[in-house]
Structure 1
């Protein structure tokens, strides 16, 4: 699986006027053509995307939308919409045939769900709605949706210096989050380099990868980095700098430890920690473009949704417009029966 980093994935579009509908539809059609969709599916994708974005333009508050290649399946097109209101009290009703928000194309959320290869939605009255849907040639399902990530640049910048990448096997998903020091193209070069090094580190543990990143980022601005290997029942985690890592579920969260320093510039004693991972939990990693004061209990139902919806919901609730932002969400590699409980951590031998 190839890397997915912020400047290469797609841009957030503000759904403030009808021109946004056409802009996002054209991008979706281009991606569908590149992915080899047949003409019928290209047309269906265009209709579904237009409906979703029209809803934002006409009825949402602070609506934004992104269309991009799916991070776990490059031949799949993914659309994510986020808004701050008015929200839906009854999502199940909105998915029924014949129900449509007034003033849009009229096909309704239920029809969108059938056109897409997969979708998920989270909505709370007064807080807003997050919708994620994807389209795959032949309507075949995308791979198991274990991980997702989103970035957003500071202010009106076009390039985000925060980025992420995944490496996935049947038994684990390994994730990198990097926050290049500063903003803009020069800061982003550190993140590009970190991704390149990470993608050639598939057989290494997080601690060894972070060490390699520290050495490889010399000569760049450097940055904060963290790497997690998410398995079926545990997380191996190593971080350097101000990347936040959490084992999260609906009842709360447990922080994961990063050591102070800047990859490529200064570092103390690097450590790797092992955290127990309940099957119902989600691993969350984010840069300091998201405040770490978010609370899962104030977002009921969010952490039962797909990783893309969780990531978008966290970006909305905790993201800052005054800094580049990156958030990644990862589910365990496979399900197992477990009772709710606090995650625990133990340090591994960091100086192997």
Structure 2
């Protein structure tokens, strides 16, 4: 599937909440929400913005995108965080002196819900509200959990990063792209690469990059990585060009001996100059494996081990935490996370 970018709504104080609600309501209408479904989404957004006003001195942000069958809303704040986030989901429990129903209401109205919070770090909430007439096979219903955030550079409307995810049974095909620069021309390059990729599946990663290289020669160029994940052979095969970076974590980070391997790319610019020889690299894949890819909108020095139990959360939550904590604020940002369920 060719996926939609997130729209960022900055909520520095409660006066900005009405603007976000209005635009998100418009997104729901475009997605075909009924009045009842739009009402559920409005409760989620209202409670999120209310929590930002109460608990985060500098407010926070909402990342919103259309899922086709629903709307995803991610709430980010740099507030004090929670010691016991599970207890905060119980109605009547509050650190603010309010009725303590906000988080519980968000969870009840969500078809997908996740929450990660640590004292001193702040909080990330992930909510998806689906239409009743959603696809028979919902996303991530297979053997993998896939999540991402993809956000334009501040003050830009189009994201210069691009992403394509195709899941076929135990096989997953991934493309992560970063058009050179930012803005409309970078977006054009990234989307041209995504379209070339989607129309040529399946291929070995190195062959796919050569094909994309030929297809986007008339654009400003891009960097990118192609990853084929096989749940049958328990291997991942990958090839990348440019500064799309990644790590493959090998176990639950709460366990002793957990570690990761860096995902390394070739030098070059897809669409302009690539190495004459491209080889696919392979790594083992299976239970408790987590693959994380990102563009250079994310700082390179991060480690999941610094976030207790984060690896147990949804892939989207992991991506959102890394985005919140390590984005550069000077470029488009893509963070893609793939977790094995089996």
**TM-score in terms of structure 1 length:** 0.86
Contact 2:71–2:128 (CA<8 Å) still a contact in 1? Answer: yes
Q: Report the CA distance shift for 1:223/1:163 in structure 2 as closer, same or farther (over 3 A).
A: same
Report matched runs for 1:317-328 at 5 Å: 317-328=325-336
Equivalent in the alignment of 2:292 = 284
The alignment's C-alpha RMSD in Å is 2.1
Equivalent in the alignment of 1:22 = 18
Equivalent in the alignment of 1:267 = 274
Q: Report the CA distance shift for 1:69/1:104 in structure 2 as closer, same or farther (over 3 A).
A: farther
> After superposition, what is the alpha-carbon deviation per residue over 1:232-289, rounded to whole angstroms, capped at 9, x for unaligned?
2321111011111211252332112211111011111211111112311211111111
Structure 2 SS opposite 1:150? strand
> After superposition, what is the alpha-carbon deviation per residue over 1:103-154, rounded to whole angstroms, capped at 9, x for unaligned?
8785321222111111011110001111101111239794326212212333
Report matched runs for 1:1-352 at 5 Å: 1=1, 3-5=2-4, 9-60=5-56, 61=58, 63-70=60-67, 74-100=68-94, 102=96, 107-138=101-132, 142-144=138-140, 146-232=145-231, 233-248=234-249, 249=251, 250=253, 251-268=258-275, 269-332=277-340, 334-335=341-342
Gap regions ≥5 residues in structure 2: none
Q: Report the CA distance shift for 1:48/1:324 in structure 2 as closer, same or farther (over 3 A).
A: closer
Tell me the distance in 1 between the aligned counterparts of 2:310 and 2:6.
24
Contact 2:92–2:99 (CA<8 Å) still a contact in 1? Answer: no
Tell me the distance in 2 between the aligned counterparts of 1:204 and 1:20.
46
Equivalent in the alignment of 1:349 = none
Contact 1:136–1:142 (CA<8 Å) still a contact in 2? Answer: no
Structure 2 SS opposite 1:143? coil
Structure 1 SS opposite 2:62? strand
Tell me the distance in 2 between the aligned counterparts of 1:18 and 1:101.
19
Tell me the distance in 2 between the aligned counterparts of 1:280 and 1:210.
28
Q: Report the CA distance shift for 1:138/1:189 in structure 2 as closer, same or farther (over 3 A).
A: closer
Structure 2 SS opposite 1:144? coil
Tell me the distance in 1 between the aligned counterparts of 2:82 and 2:108.
20
Structure 1 SS opposite 2:123? strand
> Which has the larger displacement, 31-40 or 108-117?
31-40
Q: Report the CA distance shift for 1:58/1:199 in structure 2 as closer, same or farther (over 3 A).
A: same
Tell me the distance in 1 between the aligned counterparts of 2:131 and 2:186.
36
**Cα deviation, residue 62, structure 1:** 5.3
**Cα deviation, residue 324, structure 1:** 2.1
**TM-score in terms of structure 2 length:** 0.89
Contact 1:190–1:221 (CA<8 Å) still a contact in 2? Answer: yes
> After superposition, what is the alpha-carbon deviation per residue over 1:47-67, rounded to whole angstroms, capped at 9, x for unaligned?
121101221133224511112
Equivalent in the alignment of 1:338 = none
Tell me the distance in 2 between the aligned counterparts of 1:106 and 1:20.
23
Structure 2 SS opposite 1:261? coil
**Cα deviation, residue 21, structure 1:** 2.0
Structure 1 SS opposite 2:19? helix
Tell me the distance in 1 between the aligned counterparts of 2:230 and 2:45.
34
Q: Report the CA distance shift for 1:320/1:62 in structure 2 as closer, same or farther (over 3 A).
A: farther
Equivalent in the alignment of 1:345 = none
**Cα deviation, residue 158, structure 1:** 2.6
